[in-house]
Amino acid sequence: MKSLVLAEKPSVARDLARVLGCKQMHKSHIEGPRYVVTWALGHLVELKMPEDYDRRYKDWRMEDLPIIPNQMGLKIIRETSRQFRAIDELAKRRDLKELIIATDAGREGELVARWIIEKIRWRKPVKRLWISSQTDRAIREGFQKLAPAEKYDRLYQSAVCRAQADWLIGLNVTRALTTKYNDPLSAGRVQTPTLAMIIEREKEIQAFKPKAYWTITADVGPFSAVWERRGEKRLFDKEEAEAIMAKAAGQTAVVRTAERKEKTESQPLPYDLTELQRDANRRFGFSAKKTLSTLQRLYEHYKLVTYPRTDSRYLTKDMAATMSERLKAVAAAYPDEVRPALKRKGKVLAGKVFNDAKVTDHHAIIPTDEPVFIEDLSADERKLYDLIVRRFLALFYPPCRYEHVQTVFEISGETFVVRETVCTDPGFRLVTGKEEGDARSLETLEPGRTFRVKDLRIEQHWTEPPERFSEADLLQRMEKYGLGTPATRADIIEKLLQSQAIDRQNGRLYPTPKGKQLIELVNDQLKSPEMTARWEQELENIARGKGNPGAFMKDIRKLTERLVAEIKESDQTYRAHNITGSKCPECGEFLREIKTKDGRMLVCPDRSCGYRRRKDPKLSNRRCPQCHKRMEIHEGKAGLYFKCRMCNIVEKAEEIKKTVSKREERELLKKYSKKDEAFGNPLAEALKAALKDQS
């Protein structure tokens, strides 16, 4: 009898199969003497859509809302149904004794597997592989200590509650807003409070009024001392500042106090996903999405780092024995940094990092014991790997030690202060690459010593408004309020960008006119970070066995009804910010301009019409028969056509399809078959039809 192993992706399945000795390659699985390894393609099963319950829901109508099924059902995703059917057929084999879940070890990975298991009606035993890295050793050890799937039932319940809550609130509120105001308006349990935080910051910036203030600096002997009063260095009264200047000019400075304190900075803990995304954004300008996808390659393809989607910065105590092997794995790329740690036999000097109580589903992100070949990594992969390794190596170095020196002078009754920080032992900063303080040390002065005031300077400044959020700032705020999880925060930010509720400019996030109006239309409860944080905590409690899934979903259903009712009864107005002067040739509505991955599009707001065209038509590989320049590709009432802007020559796709080369056909289909989430892609469908072989 064999075990059926279900991985989340084909690449992971191939690694599992290799370690498990499976060599018989099939289209949808890999088989060996003891195991049959198959794979999902991410989610193969999803929650049913409204039209799956009733065909009338295919059209968006306010009178049908809210849509709250008594029992939420599952359906097979059409695009990946072939792989689902393959798994379904495998599950019927009589030589299979059990199923082993080997999807990602987290909430979403659990959902991927459990929904597939439910749809194939698997009734035999189920076990769970739970590993934090994809190295051969981790896989072998993981299969030696498989756990019963029941151990993760609560995690699955939490995942189901999250999925159903997002469906009920997101779908109903989005449909209600879009239908009422005739514009694609997206709202959700996590994305709406995230948008609210961005807009709240924008309001602070717009309401801000600059205020002048002055600072005073005195050259006292060899030092530059700054005026200070009760910790405040700014003077908001120019006359007072000038009076202090006049009083102190030409006077004697007397040392009142001189303190020298030794301080210690502890080694930083390894990264969790959110902090790594923040650091990568600050240092390299990476978006949260880019950091996650790059990190996933380091984990899955190269097997150089441990599980990415973690919210812990600690390690378990039993991992102390693996430190030497991890050091040796990175030694080729970091010989100088690793050498001192290996001399101490891999002893971790930051013992606080080992704390079982602070490790949840996964420990912090650290290097694996897989040897690194740094030249194999892309520039972005190398940057991210370097952050992880240096933060890991810091654990093997002593704390950073420095001296803080402060001297307080009195000049005519006013206080002037000199401060300096001097690094005495860099410790872990030798590997993190950060320097602290000046190289020289400020001498310790005896109280009562006097100096002549050589010069006084007064400078005017202006208070500045708070900065707009960078992704690093926003991730920090989302983490503070518990909005989303480390695994979902990047997608939330991307969703806000794609829906054009926010825009990214020079690394900062700006609300758009659409986003500003949207937040005014949404219920205060839905846009409250505190409320959403409580929901997220409830989901976490359910995963830990401390929450009630039934009670949580009952509250979500009630909230959905109330949110939709408020939208229906609202007398607020909305004006689409992207209306153009061009009319739809099909129905006469004014077209709206939207941004897509393929450029700007003009679309009809009437969903039943669906007309759309590119504002700046893309060039095809079809050459004009007269000037031989590339022709634009368009779609009109008569179907797909090519047009030369220079010669004004027009050719219908149907008339030229016999002359289009196979290579050009492939390139055209590839170029225009990307789907737009909000509107579909009729241009691609028309192109496929035009180029279809009639034989």
The catalytic residue positions are 307
The pair of three-digit structure tokens given for residue 217, joined into one six-digit string: 């600096």
The secondary element (H helix, E strand) that includes residue 411 is strand 400-411
Q: Treating both helix axes as pointing N-terminal to C-terminal, what angle do 172-181 and 549-569 enclose, rounded to 10 degrees? A: 10
The pair of three-digit structure tokens given for residue 615, joined into one six-digit string: 């504002």
Q: Is 65 helix (H, G, I), strand (E, B) or coil?
A: coil
DSSP annotation of 169 reads I
At residue 237, φ and ψ (nearest 5 deg) are: -120, 110
Cα–Cα distances (Å) from 344 to 80, 341, 348, in that order, read 52, 5, 9
Residue 254 contacts residue 240 (beta carbons within 8 Å): no
What distance in Å separates the CA atoms of residue 364 and residue 316, rounded to the nearest whole number? 9
**Sign of the Cα pseudo-torsion (76, 81, 84, 85, in order):** positive
Rounded to the nearest 5 percent, the helix, strand and coil shares of the chain are 40, 25, 35
Cα–Cα distances (Å) from 228 to 231, 464, 602, 693, in that order, read 6, 20, 59, 82
Residue 679 contacts residue 610 (beta carbons within 8 Å): yes
At residue 656, φ and ψ (nearest 5 deg) are: -110, 0
Q: Is 533 helix (H, G, I), strand (E, B) or coil?
A: helix
What distance in Å separates the CA atoms of residue 178 and residue 61, rounded to the nearest whole number? 10
Residue 164 burial (CB count, 10 A)? 18
Residue 599 contacts residue 615 (beta carbons within 8 Å): yes
**Sign of the Cα pseudo-torsion (355, 356, 357, 359, in order):** positive
What distance in Å separates the CA atoms of residue 41 and residue 77, rounded to the nearest whole number? 11
Cα–Cα distances (Å) from 585 to 174, 589, 626, in that order, read 28, 8, 29
> Is beta strand 96-102 parallel, antiparallel or unpaired with respect to 2-7?
parallel
Dihedral in degrees, nearest 10, Cα atoms 91, 92, 98, 102: -10
Q: What angle do CA 487, 489, 491 make, to 5 degrees?
A: 90
What's the length of the chain? 695
The secondary element (H helix, E strand) that includes residue 392 is helix 379-393
What distance in Å separates the CA atoms of residue 538 and residue 530, rounded to the nearest whole number? 12
The pair of three-digit structure tokens given for residue 447, joined into one six-digit string: 């109280």
**Looking at this protein, which amino acid is placed at residue 437?**
G
- Report the side by side order of strands in the sheet with 147-148: 24-25, 29-31, 35-39, 2-7, 96-102, 126-128, 147-148
> Is beta strand 2-7 parallel, antiparallel or unpaired with respect to 35-39?
parallel
